[in-house]
Amino acid sequence: MSDVLDSVTPFDVEFTTPLVLERGGLLPSYRLRCETYGSLNTERTNAVLVCHALSGDHHAAGRHHPSDPKPGWWDHYIGPGKAIDTDRFFVVSLNNLGGCSGSTGPTSLNPDTGLLYGPDFPEITVLDWVVSQARLADHLGIEQFAAVVGGSLGGMQALQWAISFPERLRAAVVIAAAPKLNAQNIAFNEVARQAILRDPNFRDGRYREFDVVPASGVGLARMVGHITYLSDVSMGQKFGRTAPRAEFESDGVNFAVESYLRYQGEQFSTRFDANTYLLMTHALDYFDPTAGDQVPLAEVLKDTQCRFLVLSFTTDWRFSPSRSEEIVDALVKAQRPVSYVRLESEHGHDAFLIPDATYQAVLGTFMARLADDLEVPS
């Protein structure tokens, strides 16, 4: 049965069991905003969890209204007949805890005080997300996912799922990720954070109480982030050293790449919460399944039970292929089943979001095989 995903409706799930967080905080209750695509089969075995990256949300595919100008952020890869085929899979997507798109986060009210969380929202880690997602699976009656899939920070969640709930997923798809950030990655996150913290409108994170937004700092943070999502090749092809388009000409703008970055920053700053941005970058920084090299990654992955698909992109310099290969090498050492493809792309880190025939074929083949396996009578 094909569904066109042209009238997707998000829904909220409320959790009233307190969640103790990895870094010491506690959420007495929380909400997760979700979307699903496709149908859960009667055996409840065909669910796929799609995890989002730093600035993503629950709206991964389809449209909320047929007239929406743009579909969800991974619509190229999720839908009827697509790599993650909603004719075969029941896809679950959610806005992560701490987000600003409907799930409980810094823009929510603290039920204990009746005030906005703001900067008092507790620190969240990838493990916290995975635990909250497992509770969501419980709520939806999903004992085991056919796959947990994600790119970038989403790939880290897929990896954490394999480690923390080995029996609850048959496959993990880890795309354009890394087993932990390196110093350069952390440095770029720190620059982004400082851009926000130094904006006078940030006001120690209590900007909403003053009815202001640190748009300048968030925009600047996005600008620096955005450079790291693209490759020098793709920036060269897209902009080179050309002058800005006439409508973007203004004082001090000499090159198209400058007006493009400013525009990206401005757009982002109107839709994304500053405290959430800080929280997400910290979650990236903290992610380290080896707990500071106390345990080798291969040892950490030894008890995983799923098969793995690991994908990297040649021009990704945020999380370069060598970072994906650290995961692959550890899985090989741990004698776990892993397929790895280093995909040719000019699009840098953003390649994981962009349509590409080979990428689609590799992911689609892996997912189709999973779906076939589910249909074999056991």
Interface residues with a second copy (CB under 8 A) are 180-184, 186-188, 190-191, 193-195, 197-200, 216-217, 220, 223-224, 227, 230, 232, 235-236, 238-241, 252, 254-255, 257-258, 261-262, 265, 282, 285-286, 288, 292, 317
Q: Which is nearer to a second copy, 46 or 231 (CB)?
A: 231
Catalytic residue (choose from 55, 132, 152, 312): 152
Q: How far apart, in whole angstroms, are the C-alpha atoms of residue 188 and residue 196?
A: 13
Q: Which is nearer to a second copy, 7 or 254 (CB)?
A: 254
3-state helix vs strand vs coil in the chain, percent to 5: 40, 15, 45
Q: What is the dihedral of CA 233, 236, 238, 243, to 10 degrees?
A: 170
| Shortest Å distance, C-beta 270 to a second copy | 16
- The burial class, CB within 10 Å (0-12 / 13-18 / 19+), for 67 is exposed
**Beta strand 90-94 pairing with 84-85:** unpaired
| Shortest Å distance, C-beta 291 to a second copy | 11
Q: How far apart, in whole angstroms, are the C-alpha atoms of residue 155 and residue 177?
A: 5
Q: How far apart, in whole angstroms, are the C-alpha atoms of residue 370 and residue 354?
A: 23
- The burial class, CB within 10 Å (0-12 / 13-18 / 19+), for 18 is exposed
HEC letters along 135-174: HHHHHHCCCCECEEEEECHHHHHHHHHHHHCHHHECEEEE
Q: How far apart, in whole angstroms, are the C-alpha atoms of residue 79 and residue 225?
A: 29
Q: Which is nearer to a second copy, 100 or 279 (CB)?
A: 279
| Shortest Å distance, C-beta 146 to a second copy | 34
Q: How far apart, in whole angstroms, are the C-alpha atoms of residue 295 and residue 339?
A: 23
Listed in sequence order, the residues at least 6 apart from 80 whose beta carbon sits closer than 8 Å to its beta carbon are: 2, 3, 4, 5, 86, 87
Catalytic residue (choose from 57, 199, 273, 316): 316
Q: Which is nearer to a second copy, 77 or 188 (CB)?
A: 188
H or E, element range at 310? strand 307-313
| Shortest Å distance, C-beta 292 to a second copy | 7
Q: How far apart, in whole angstroms, are the C-alpha atoms of residue 130 and residue 136?
A: 10
| Shortest Å distance, C-beta 4 to a second copy | 38
Q: Which is nearer to a second copy, 93 or 160 (CB)?
A: 160
Is 349 annotated in the active site? yes
| Shortest Å distance, C-beta 10 to a second copy | 33
Q: Which is nearer to a second copy, 204 or 247 (CB)?
A: 204
Active site residues: 152, 316, 349
